[in-house]
Each structure stands twice: as C-alpha cells, then as structure tokens.
Structure 1
Amino acid sequence: MDPLQDVLALLEPQSHLSTSLVAGGQWAVRFDAPSGVKFNAVRRGSCLLEVEGIDEPISLAEGDCYLLTRPRRFTLRSGPGVEPVDAGPVFARAEDGVARAGDGDDVFLIGGRFSFGPRAQELLLDALPPIVHVPGGTPQARIVRWALTAIDDELLHRPVASMLVAEHLAVVMLVHVLRLHLARGPRALSGWLSGLADPAVAAALTAMHGDPARSWTVAELARSGAVSRSTLAARFKDTVGQAPLEYLTRWRIELAARHLRQGTATLAAIAHAVGYGSESALSVAFKRITGTSPRDYRRQWAPAGDPEQKRRGPGR
C-alpha cells in the first residue's frame, strides 16, 4: 500500500469551498486564523500573501496556489502600504458567490479549506511547513492547474451537483499539491513524510503499510529496500525520527483507533486485524501510545445514547 494514500484515507479529507474574491486597484483584506487547512488559488492577476509569524510576504502570481497548514491570521493585498480591511464585512457583502475588494477586477482568487479526521495534526500537518506554496508556472503544477480550471468551470456554469464535483476536485488538487511538495526533497519535509523521499525508507514504509499485521523484523524491512539492517535502522531514525518497529507499532495503534471510532468489532477482532495476538496485548500497546485504554477510547467516541454501545457494554 501507499503510505500517503493510507494516511489520507485514515484522515478522510473533505473540502469546503468558500466565496471567491475579486479585487483591483489598491486593496488589502485581513483574515482571521482559519479552522482546518486554508487554500487559495490565483486564477487571474497577482497579489501578496502575508502570514502571521512569517517574516517575508509571498508573491502570488496567476496560477499559483498555497496551503496554510496552521491556524494563523493572514492578509492578501495588492502591495505594501495599504491599510487592510477585515474579511468579515467584505465577504458579508458578497453577491453570487463573489466578494469584492478595492476598485476593479484585475485579481480573481478562489479558495476554501480542508477539514480532516481527529489525528490530522500529528499524522500529517505537523510534518508540513506552515505554508506550502505551489507556483503555477512550473511544469510539475500542470495537474494542479487542471484541477483548478475544472473547479472554476463547475462554479461558473453550475451544472447539477456542481458543488459536490468542485469539492471532490479540490481534494484531488490537495493530493497533487502534497505530491509536488514531496518531490521537493527531504529538506522540505519532516517526520514520516521525509521518509518517503528516501528510497530505502520509503520501501520499508510501503511494506509495513501493505501488511501492518505481519510480524516484521528490521532485517525483512531492510531487504525490501535493498540495504543492510543497520543502514535502514540509521536512515529510518534520521528521517522519520523513530525506529522502524516503533513506527509500525504507532501505525497499528492508529488503525486500531479508527476501528474503535468507526466500527463495532470486538477488541479481540481488532487486535487480530492490526497484528496483535490477543486483546490484552493490544490494550497494553494502546494505553502506552495513547494514554487511554481501548475501552475508554471507544466510549469517548460513541454517539450519545447509542443503543448498540449500551448492548455491547464499554469496549465490546
């Protein structure tokens, strides 16, 4: 299995498109810290992006897009020296899905945000920089441009189910942005994502994700990447920040936690599915990693008044 695909499937990303922005002349709009991961794409013109905690503004040209992976305030502006206005009133006056700032229409941006499952911060977002900027003029951004053009078309012509299609296209765009970021090399990454930039480590990650219940040894994982056991152990620790089997344990616990949040399987069945020989072995590992027992974790995620949960009893 593909580790990036596995993590994104676990996190269940959803896109939420927002009102577009048309601007011209001298303008600046200040935004509150967003919930989730914010994205904008410049479909026409150019502007500057300023993000709280980032020293230098980022120049955005036509075709560029970016992800803001931290909840930080930011400002979009035509240039320096313009007093920004708050985004709330600007977007409250929007008509036909378009807000306007300044005087004219030489700049057009579409945007929205991505929401994820409860483990997104640790599993994905902490491994990314605060801003992921994809210049639209690079050949590698071709598919991102295609997705953005398709979103534009859906929002402009509004065929049936246009919003559903546009939001799915935005998730496609997200995957391609992450691919492009991965291609920039390990210095642009941290955590398990940086491991994907190392062929031997990536092979070990792929092997573990392909069969997480298997009783892997470091020697077997090293053979998958055609390196020695000691080489894999050193490179895995250096890039991912964990030993290979420590990573495997944590991934198994993530899978078990998903079962507990979303399913009704017994702890014994979950233990078998993720590679533990018994319910007690899973419980010990789960408590060590998460700080809570599987039964308590399941109880936290059970819908209020769930009759099935009452029949099962806690953790069943």
Structure 2
Amino acid sequence: MRRHAVAVVVLAVTLGVLVPWAGRLPRAAAARLVGIDELGPTRSAVFVDSPAMGRTVQVQVLHPPGGGERPTYYLLDGLDPGDRQSTWTNATDAERFFADKNVNVVLPIGGQASYYTDWQSDDPRFGRYRWETFLTRELPPLIDSAFDGNGVNGIGGLSMGGIAAFVLAARNPELYTAVAGYSACPDLGLAQGAMLFSIANRGGNPGNMWGPPGGPAWAQHDPALLADRLRGKTIYLSTGTGIPGPHETEIKPQLPENIFFGGPIEAAVDGCVSAFEQRLRALSIPARVDHSAVGTHSWSYWQDTLHVSWGALAPALGA
C-alpha cells in the first residue's frame, strides 16, 4: 500500500472492517493509522496513533513488492532497540532475507527495556508502556488492512524480545500460530533477576512493570507457568553455549557490554532454554530447540538462527 491510500485504510478500520480473528479478541480503543512512508520497495515506516500508548508509535514493515494476501511475522528487538529503525534491519540482513518471501515482517521501533508488555504504572524514565495492548489489539487490524494481511500471525524476538514473544503468545494464544525466541529465556523464574537488573540498569523502576518480584502479575506473564497455552503452535528456540565461535571478530551495532559479557550471558540463556525445553517435554508439547556448540549473545548469531528458524516458521504461517 502507498501513502495516498492511508485515508482509505483509516476509513475502513473506522467503519469496522472485519479481519479473520477480530471476533475472538476484546476490542481496544480504536487506534488510527496516521501515515505510511515508503523507505524502499520492500520496507515501509508505519505511524499509528495509539490510545494505549498515548502517542504516535512507529513500526516498520518488511513486505513483498507486489500485492496478494499473506501472513504476518511480528519480530521484536532486544533490550536497546533503535529509535529510527529496528536493530534487525541495522545489524542483520533481515530486509534482504525477507524481500522475496510472501510475508509481512513487523518491526516495532523503540521500547527500551520494555519487554513489550503493559506496565502497571507509567515510568519516570520510559513514560507509558502499553506494548501488549498495542501489539496484540491495536496494531494487527491496521497491518492486515494496509499490507494485505490474511489474519495468520507469528511472533518472535531476540533476548528481551524473545522473552516477550513467548509472553505475548502465551497470553494471547488465539492470535499466533508460531512463536520463536533467539537467545531468549522464556522461564521467568530463571530470568527474573536479569530482567529486573536490565530495567534498572537503563534507568527504569522495575516495580513499575509487573509489580514486586513474586507478585501475582509475574505468574500471569510467565510462559513456563502458562506453557499449556502454547500447545498446538510451532515453537522454535535457539541458543549458543557462550563459547566463542566464528563471528567474534565481526563488528556489529550491538550492546557494547556484549563484547565482553556475551559469552557468560549466552551460557546462562542456554541453561534457561534447556529448562524450558524440559518443561515443554513434560507437557508433551513439541518444539524445535537448536543448541549450537558455540556462539555468544550477539547479532551475527541471531542472523544465522533467523535464517534457520524460517524453515520451521514458514510452513506454520503458510508463507
């Protein structure tokens, strides 16, 4: 869709154009698509007036150059996402990789240390975070209307975004057919300390997210406790061991501390992924889990596993 068609999309959504899953989700206050800028033949910046977030939110969409119905893959960023583009397009070949694939890839912009969730309280550092409502209620009908979405959705992400992908999939099982995590720890019982530290380390108040550690909201968001809601979905997880591998000498726009701590971080993630894998097996929920013998917490490995994961995700999405 092009910029001159924005008014048509806004009118269609305002009049209540139905999307395939609309009747199964509670209605949120109507978000409004306010602009689309073409960044290239297969990439567009989309601006949404979000009542939940109380501001205009940008997402970028990778899409085929032509028309035709297609599924949508929501691909979430890490702890320090870019404010002008997703790090997926800044640090990997995601735009080129998806250019010839019949899928919309939605990349949220911003959301530092947000875990892409609805925070209980506005934060002095980050402001209003209502990412779950935005990503699961407000945004999908707009994306489907503007980019020929067919109502079939998957969600994935790396590190923070991978945790969030599993949280959102477990809390909104009717919305997603597939979920992926690249170096992500979906067991919040094991990830909680790192999550609290990461928010505080970026200047936020961790208590503003889901309240005090061990409170009921943490259990209500824990994919390990909600794992049965993932039954029937295609599940993909990947992790390295923290042992340096072939990509350590590459320069990538990644977290500076990952150059020094990417090994220990990935080793901890690997243990968490193994624990979550055992949880799924105990529930007889199938999942593809790729444990690499090497690899640190860094972008070149996430580019590799993005490519590999598509072999599992594409059939689930019908892409």
> Is TM (by shorter chain) over 0.5?
no
Q: Which structure: larger Rg?
A: 1
Q: TM-score, normalised by structure 1?
A: 0.28
Structure with bigger helix share is 1
